[in-house]
Copies of this chain bind each other. A is one copy, B any other.
Amino acid sequence: MNAITDLRANAGEQERLRIRSAGFTGPTAGLAPGNVQANMVILPRDLANDFLRFAQANPKPCPVLAVTEPGDPRFPTLGANLDVRTDIPRYRVWRHGELVSEPTDVLDVWRDDLVSFAIGCSFSFEEALVEDGIEVRHIACGTNVPMYRTNIPCTPAGVFNGPLVVSMRPLKPRDAIRAVQITSRFPSVHGAPVHLGLPQSIGIADIGKPDYGDAVPIGPDELPVFWACGVTPQAVIAQVKPEFCITHAPGCMLITDLRNTSLSAL
Contacts and interface: CB of A to CB of B under 8 A. Distances in A.
Interface string A140-183: 00000000000000000000000000000000011011001100
Chain A binding surface SS class: mixed
Contact of A198 (B177, B184, B223): B223
Nearest to A202: B173
A120 interface: no
A221 interface: yes
Interface in A166-224: 173-174, 176-177, 180-181, 184, 192-198, 201, 221, 223
A193 B174 CA distance: 8
Nearest to A152: B174
Query: In the complex, which of the residues A192, A193, A197 has the most CB atoms of chain B within 10 Å of its own CB atom?
Result: A197
Given A180-B177, A181-B184, A221 B196 contact: no
Contact of A194 (B174, B180, B192, B221): B174
Interface residues of A, number: 18
A4 interface: no
A48 B197 CA distance: 41
Query: In the complex, which of the residues A173, A184, A194, A201 has the most CB atoms of chain B within 10 Å of its own CB atom?
Result: A173
A197 B173 contact: yes
A136 to B, nearest CB: 18
A266 interface: yes
A198 B180 contact: no
Interface string A22-37: 0000000000000000
A196 B184 contact: no
A117 B221 CA distance: 36
Nearest to A196: B173
Given A201-B221, A221-B201, A266-B266, A196 B176 contact: yes
Contacts of A196: 173, 176-177, 196-197, 223
Contacts of A221: 198, 201
Interface of A: 173-174, 176-177, 180-181, 184, 192-198, 201, 221, 223, 266
